[in-house]
Every structure is written in structure tokens, then in C-alpha cells.
Chains A and B, each alone.
Chain A
Amino acid sequence: MARSDRVGVAKTYKLYIGGKFPRSESGRSYPVTSESGAFLANASQASRKDLRDAVVAARSAFGGWSGATAYNRGQVLYRVAEVMEGRRDQFIAEVRDAEDVRPRTAESLVDTAIDRWVWYAGWTDKLAAVLGGTNPVAGPYFSFTVPEPTGVVGVLAPQRSSLLGLVSVLAPVLATGCTAAFVSSDARPLPAITLAEVLATSDVPGGVVNLLTGQAAELGPWLASHADVNALDLTGADPEHRTELARSAADTVKRVLRVPEQEPDWTSSPGIGRLRAYLEDKTVWHPMGV
């Protein structure tokens, strides 16, 4: 048989929940096209029940992930970057199709994304030293502060930057020891699905990251009002909806990350603002000299 006669094996793009790749509970899917309109794939369109399952998975994974040593989390995240590197060509092709950029630009975006992941991986065991410390107090106490992960973080990932933007919002969640349920870019979900495959084949425990592909406008309100989500990143939400989402998040006292009106330039250095956002300070006053 001539090589050209071979029937290609088309990939089914699914969700990533609790370490598994299920289809949407609703059975829905939607076509994903490139920026220029060419058909790329059918992606699962997640429903609110998928979102519920994702949060349950994130919650049950939180104990193990937040309880792992910072050193171990750093190693696991570094391993993710290693596997991303192995899939570099696939990421480049997907980013090129999704964002309609020139091959060289796509290459640079993917490299920056991998480097960003490594950068955040390096932060895991430095956070306590940089953001915590001993406090000088005027009394017979030894007072010190340690940062602890906030919990389950709901993320509406950037709509435009399909990989670098996603890595920039996701890696800080994991580096702090939080777990994530995130909704990928609606129109550009494929790099996110590949990233989920990378996470599944690294040493990241199932449930630490949960991917939903679908519409931020549909899933956002359920994510924002969910009582078991502790922090919220509304980067991917329509700016007009953000106030309302933040208001419904307030009912359960979620941390809502302050994000710029428009998507920022993800290539610039991120700083540690996002790490700080997903940490709670625990301060201990220990009596001494009594």
C-alpha cells in the first residue's frame, strides 16, 4: 500500500479532570478553527457539571499537593518543563495555528512558555523565605510568618495567548501549592489540551490541574459562585462581566485576583504578584523568656 493511502488517526480532544481525560458529561463538543478559519478539531464543550467534577477533583488533590515539600513540588514542576520541551514541535504547530503567528514567533512563544514554567518551578522553595519571615515585635514573643497555599483556584485562562498566557496564569497556582480548575481559551483550546497531556505524563498528581474547554461566559458564573473555590482569576472573562463575577465570588469570600482590563503582554517578566495572590499568611506568636 502506498504511504499516501494511509488513513490518519484523528485525535479526540477531551477534558482533563482528576488525572483522566473524560468527554464532557453533557456530550457536547464544538468545532475549533484556526485564526484564518480552517477547521482544526472538535473540542469538548464543558458543562457546569464538568466544572463541579473538576472542583471536586481539585479539592481532593489539594491535601497531597499542598502537603508535599516545596522541594518536591519544584522537582515535579521542573519535570513538567522537561516534558514540554519534548513536545516543543507540537506546541509550536498548535500555537501557530491557534494564534495565526509566523513560525518563528510561535517558536519564541513556546520557548518563553517553557522558560516561564521553569522560572515558577524555581520559586516553590523560595517563597517562604521571600514572603515570610520573623517579625520584630515589642514583647516577649518570637513571632514569625509563613505563607500557606490558599486552596482551590478557579482560573479563566487568557482568551488570546493560548500557551504562554495559560502557563503564566497556571504555573504560579501550582508553585504555591494550590490546585486549579481552569477554563481554557474558548477559541484556542488545543495548546491547553496538549499541556494537560504533558501534566498527565509528568509527575503531577491527578486532580492538581483540571482543564475544561468551553465558554468562559457559560462556566464563569458557576466557578465564581462555587463555595468550594477559594480564589479566582478572571483574566479570561469578558471585562464587562468581571464586576458581576467578582460580586458573586464575594458571597464565599474568595480571593479575586486583580487583573488588567486587557490581556497584558505575557512576554514581559511577570514578577511574583501572582504567587503572592494565592498565598495566605500564617503568623505565629510564640511566648519566650517566661
Chain B
Amino acid sequence: MSVALAERLDDATRDASSLRRFLAGLPGVDQVGLEQRAATLATRSIKQDAKRWAIDTAISMVDLTTLEGADTRGAVRSLCAKAVRPDPQRPDTPSVAAVCVYPDLAATAVEALAGTDVAVASVATAFPSGRSNRAVKLADTALAVDSGATEVDMVIDRGAFLEGRYGDVFDEIVAVKQACGDSHLKVILETGELATYDNVRKASWLALLAGGDVIKTSTGKVSPAATLPVAHVMLQAVRDFHEATGELRGVKVAGGIRTTKDAIRYLVAVNEVAGERWLTPSLFRFGASSLLNDLLLQRRAKQDGHYSGANYLPE
């Protein structure tokens, strides 16, 4: 695929109609085969030392998220404290990758996380629906970036995508990427609204071509959110994109991942589909809130030899 693809990639971004041609030319997803492979890989058993490693790796990949209308500055500050030291009684527990908040609370998170390795991610572009005009979306992005967020999670315009106005979606991502400056851009495809795996593949390539540093499954506000087959399709896209261009792009899965078992299944998928290289927080993330506590409980169970309880962890 790679050489021919590389040539086609240059051509793809020339204008809206060449983009449409490129996306239409992507091979269709074999739904049955994909789901079967995802299900088979999900049965793989990870035990003992490998599980210990997987738990710590997964913790370091978490984007600890709070995206509620009722978020307060106090809640964000305590979430930041938890992000830095997830399990205060076990100082060897790794910190999470980032804290993810709404843009108006990004400044609070930046202040609380100053001097730590934990990044601040902010959603933007009229999250979660993305229903607003370009100017508002860019202003939203600017608010996040000016507040000090080093990662921006944007949503694509699913309406435009489903109407087939790929060029508009592309231009919007490019504009937001520009507004991000040095900040990392994660592009949320909201796969639960894209209806087919073929669309997920198209949207993934579209976002990668437009310059998204990471493609992300979902906002967490729509069901179904992240699923293993969808993650497979997106991991294939970043792998093929890397083969064609040499550039490393990441994947973030978000929504509905609550247990260590789920998280480990995703890690297996990352290793098998994209490759070992992607098993790092800079290229793979979990967007989650309750997942972290389950990871910590399992970590404690491994260390203590008996099961622990949520009462022993901070909220």
C-alpha cells in the first residue's frame, strides 16, 4: 500500500474534490473480519508481570477527565492532585498523562499542575456537539490555548462529515490546528455518530491528513463510545499513515472504558494492530474518569495479595 499511497497522499490534500476522491478510494472495512479479530484478541490472557506492567502503563496513559456542567474549580483542583499522585499511599504509582477539562477551567488546571509532568488537555470547538460557527470554535480553541492547555481535544463537525462536505471538515481541522500553535491537537471523530466502520476509516484519514496529532474515538457523551473494533480501524489508520509518511500520530480511546480488563484489551490491540512503538503515553491515551480507580485497585491487589476497596483511595 505504502509507496503508491504516499504519492496519493500528496494529491489528496490539494482541494476538496481530490480529498473526496482519496477518501472514496480507501479500501472498505471487512466488518465481520474486523469484529472477529477484535473479539479474538480480547480473549488474550495477560497475567502476572505482564499484567503489572500493563496496569502501570495504562495508568500513565490516562487522560483523567471531568467534563460536567457541574464542574467547579475545587473539583478540578482535587482531580489534579489525584492526577499527580493517583495513590498517595503508594508513591511508586505513576502519574497520569493529562487532566482533561472544559476550556474555562483549563487555567485552574494549569495552575494546579504547575511544575509537574502532568499535561493539561482542554476540550474545545463547541464540545461535545461541535454545533457552532468557525469563529466561535476558534475562539473556544484560543481560550484553551491562552489558558495554557498544552493539548486541545476538538470535535469534528459530524453533520458536515455525514453530508459529505469533507473539505469543510478538513479546513476546520486545519484552522483549529493553526489556532493551537504548539499545543497538541486531538481530533474527536465521535465514532458513535459515524454509523459505519468505513466512515470511521475515512474520518481517521481525514483528520490525519489535516494535521491532527491524535485521533480520538469519542466525546464520552454519545453511546456507543469507544469500542474495540473502532479502535482497531483507527490504529490501522495511524499505522498506515506512519508507513506512508514516516510521521507518528497517536490514538485516544474515550468513553465507557471502566475496568482494568477493558484497558488491557485496548493495550493488546495497540500492540497487535499498530505495534509496540505505540505503547507509550505520547501515542496512546485513555480518556477516562472511573477507569483510574479500578486500575489502582488492581495494582493494590497485585501488591498486597488481597483485594482492596474504593474506600482506601481518594475520591
Contact = CB atoms under 8 A, between A and B. Distances in A.
A55 B308 CA distance: 10
A52 interface: yes
A52 B297 CA distance: 11
A248 B306 CA distance: 10
A187 to B, nearest CB: 26
Interface in B299-315: 301, 305-312
B306 A59 contact: no
Contacts of A228: 307-311
B307 A59 contact: no
Interface stretch (A2-10, A64-72, A219-227): A219-227
A59 B309 CA distance: 9
- CB-CB nearest 8 A-B residue pairs: A228-B309, A225-B306, A226-B307, A227-B309, A227-B308, A52-B307, A227-B312, A227-B307
Interface in A200-255: 222, 225-228, 248, 251
A232 B206 CA distance: 57
Among B306, B307, B312: residue with most chain A CB under 10 A: B307
Interface of B: 301, 305-312
Contacts, number: 26
B310 A222 contact: no
Given A55-B307, A227-B307, 6 more contacts: A225-B306, A226-B306, A226-B307, A227-B306, A228-B311, A251-B306
Contacts of A227: 306-309, 311-312
Interface of A: 52, 55, 59, 222, 225-228, 248, 251
Contacts of A222: 306-307
26 contacts: A52-B301, A52-B307, A55-B307, A59-B309, A59-B310, A222-B306, A222-B307, A225-B305, A225-B306, A225-B307, A226-B306, A226-B307, A226-B309, A227-B306, A227-B307, A227-B308, A227-B309, A227-B311, A227-B312, A228-B307, A228-B308, A228-B309, A228-B310, A228-B311, A248-B306, A251-B306
A90 B186 CA distance: 59
Contacts of A226: 306-307, 309
Contacts of B312: 227
B137 to A, nearest CB: 38
Contacts of B310: 59, 228
Among A52, A222, A225, A228: residue with most chain B CB under 10 A: A228
A289 B293 CA distance: 47
A225 B306 CA distance: 6
Contacts of B306: 222, 225-227, 248, 251
Nearest to B298: A52
A55 B310 CA distance: 11
Nearest to B311: A228
A225 B308 CA distance: 9
Nearest to B312: A227
A125 to B, nearest CB: 28
A251 B312 CA distance: 13
A228 to B, nearest CB: 3
A84 B306 CA distance: 36
Contacts of B305: 225
A59 B305 CA distance: 20
Contacts of B307: 52, 55, 222, 225-228
A222 B309 CA distance: 13
B251 to A, nearest CB: 29
